[in-house]
Amino acid sequence: MINIEMPLKDWLVLVVDDEFDSRIVASMMLEEAGATVITAENGAEALGVLDEQLPDFILSDLSMPILDGWQLMYSISHDSHTANIPVIALTAHAMKGDRERAMAAGFRNHINKPLDATKFMNQLVAILLEMPEFVESLS
Amino acid sequence: MPTLVQEEILNPQALAQFLEFSPQSVAIFDTEMRYIAANSRWHAGYNLVGKTILGKSHYEIFPDITQEWKDIHQKCLAGAVMSRDADPFPRADGKTDYIKWTARPWYEADGATIGGLLMYTEIVTEQVELHKANHKTLARYQALTEDNPEFVVFLNKDGIIQEMNHLPEGVREQVIGLSYALALQADPLNDDPLKPLSLFDDTIKSGRVNHYYSRGTSQKFVGEVADYDSYIIPLYENSEIVGAVIIATDISEARLAQRKLEETVRELNQSLLFKDQFLATMSHELRTPMNAIMGYSSLGVKMPNLDDKARNMMERILINSRRLLNLINDILDISRINAGRVQLVADPFDLHHLADGWKSDYEQLAVKKGLAFVYEFDPTLPKRISGDSERMTQIVVNLINNAIKFTDTGSITLTVRHHADDHNKMDILITDTGIGISDMWHHLIFEEFRQVEMGSERNYGGAGLGLSIVQKLCILMGGTVSVASKLGEGSTFSVTLPIVHIIE
């Protein structure tokens, strides 16, 4: 059974976003669901974090300075230590085809900004439920 | 005086015959203007055939003769020689002949005494008429060429310029007789001199009228380029091609207007593209602060220890941020549809499941507002069909949201059924018991940014994009949307869409 109150209890999640408020909002929503959140301001910083800790999944913005979400995805998927970590794209581009593009680049799914707490958690849980590696821990 | 006469041989007989067979009408008078001699041509020419005129006065025979003639006679009898090349001569029947004449005195043997008058006349009416006709033709030709804005060049079949209009003073002599090929090649601004030449050859050989566009030196503005629209037309003489006429129209102004139009269209497309990119960028930029507003307020409403006032404010912020997001999405949608960038997918989906989803999503919303929600689904509709289910949902959601928005009491009815006349189409009807729309607005409500004036009582909000998006999506899907409504009684929006069956 999914813990409705705390669906992400004891999970470690990495949030990558260059926008301060976006990082806080996502972090607060994830913490609300019981997760422990670490943040990074861009892809390069995220790779630094990944050297130290391996989160259960990553939520990453796409357009960021220094190293963007696409480049981060490439690095993660080409490193055997991190290749298994699911990465979900967070983007403000509500363009049709973005989801397909993100999936093709290796992202496991795609969530549109702006985030609405209840909708976001429903969407996130639905996405996680589609991933075989999480079905066990969520149910 | 008569140095060329051999007097001993020239007898009166010969003289009489000389007179008679002269190609002109000839008469000899004495000083009193009495006829001494006149040939038959004279008789015939002046209606005197059968009349006895010898010995009689010219004035007795022509009593109506003008004073002008009498004066001429007197002057000549006084020694003058007078002549005219084409003197109008009115006839009794009203016609006018033209006469070429000479009047001169003749002298007695002493060579000094004037013995009388000699008259030589010739009717030149025909020549005069011909000359006049030629003149008329010339005038017509000039009207056709000199006064005509078109350029006309007459070429013989060897391509030599015979005649050409609009030639500046002094240039004419150099141009007439010149080879047209040389003239074209001498024009530094001509884009392709060989083209008209090969077409000219074709016209001469085949008799075909040829047409071409070319560029060359402007005849109006020295040194400037002009665009010409030209025809080569064969010229016949006795059903044989003897040359061709080239008629060229300066279409520079039309071309310029066309180029300006093309430029405008290009700029317009550029600005449409810019608008599109602008909207995409704006939508992205707007989403970032939206994320903070919506994110914090959606978290805020869940905070356990807020007082009611603060929670209420959080809720209002959240509701309004959702409205703002819808607006941003609508604007982005309409700009993408208008730019032709919306591509519908054709994926298989379960129509029954989709429609049930519409019902369960919106029943709650209607009930929350105190409205009944009626759902009528025709179970004979096919289950698996092909299409863009997301966009179909967008259409229905827009219409149901509108229905709920504009209805305060009564019900919302969602009907999904086969189209009455065509089983390959389905109808989706959304009926409400709301404020309704007056007839005069029915044709306007599908336009962008239209929201019918409701008076000041209540503001329903919204940018008026929803129905426009609905209509555009329906058209993209090969369907239609229409409205039936009465002010104060409610509205029914009918969407008719083709059913695309899945071939298994």
A89 in contact with B at a CB cutoff of 8 Å? no
Phi, psi of B94 (to 5 degrees): 95, -15
Beta strands B114-123 and B25-30: pairing type?
antiparallel
pLDDT of residue B106: 93
Size of interface A-B (CB pairs under 8 A): 70
Query: What DSSP string runs through B421-437?
Result: S-TTEEEEEEEE-SS--
- Residues of B within 8 A of A21 (CB-CB) are 288-289, 291-292, 295-296
A114 in contact with B at a CB cutoff of 8 Å? yes
Preceding omega of A114 cis (within 30 degrees of 0): yes
The pLDDT tens digits of the residues spanning B249-302 come to 888 888 889 889 999 999 988 887 787 778 777 777 888 899 999 999 999 998
Out of A28, A93, A95, closest to residue B299 by CB: A28
Out of B280, B288, B321, closest to residue A19 by CB: B288
H or E element at residue B370: none
The count of C-alpha atoms lying within 13 angstroms of the C-alpha of B62, restricted to the half-sphere facing its C-beta, is 15
Dihedral angle at the C-alpha atoms of B317, B318, B320, B325, nearest 10 degrees?
A: 130
**Interface touch A32/B299, C-beta < 8 Å:** yes
Out of B292, B299, B332, closest to residue A29 by CB: B299
Average pLDDT of chain B is 86
pLDDT tens digits, chain B, 504 residues: what are they?
455 677 777 788 888 888 899 989 999 999 999 999 999 999 888 888 888 899 999 999 988 888 999 999 999 999 999 999 888 888 778 888 899 999 999 998 888 899 999 999 998 988 888 888 878 777 777 667 777 778 888 899 899 998 888 877 777 788 888 888 888 888 888 888 888 899 999 999 999 999 999 888 877 777 788 889 999 999 998 889 999 999 988 888 888 898 899 999 999 888 877 877 787 777 778 888 999 999 999 999 988 888 989 999 999 999 888 888 888 888 888 877 877 777 888 888 999 999 999 998 888 889 989 999 999 999 999 999 999 988 999 999 989 988 998 899 999 999 999 998 888 899 999 999 988 887 777 777 887 666 555 443 445 555 578 888 899 999 999 999 999 988 888 999 999 999 988 876
CA distance A134 to chain B (A): 25
- Residue B76 burial (CB count, 10 A): 22
**Interface touch A114/B299, C-beta < 8 Å:** no
Please report, rounded to a whole number, the percentage of residues in chain B having pLDDT higher than 70: 94
- Residues of B within 8 A of A25 (CB-CB) are 291-292, 295-296, 299
**Interface touch B299/A22, C-beta < 8 Å:** no
CA distance A10 to chain B (A): 20
Residue B77's Cβ-count burial label (10 Å; 0-12, 13-18, 19+) is: buried
A29 in contact with B at a CB cutoff of 8 Å? yes
The pLDDT tens digits of the residues spanning A14-24 come to 999 999 999 99
For the whole prediction, is pTM greater than 0.80?
Answer: no
Which chain B residue has its CA at the smallest distance from A28's CA? B299
**Interface touch A21/B287, C-beta < 8 Å:** no
Tokens encoding B276: 């599109």
A21 in contact with B at a CB cutoff of 8 Å? yes
Interface of B with A (CB under 8 A): 280, 283-284, 287-296, 298-299, 301-302, 318, 321-322, 325, 329, 332, 342-343
Out of A28, A95, A115, closest to residue B291 by CB: A115
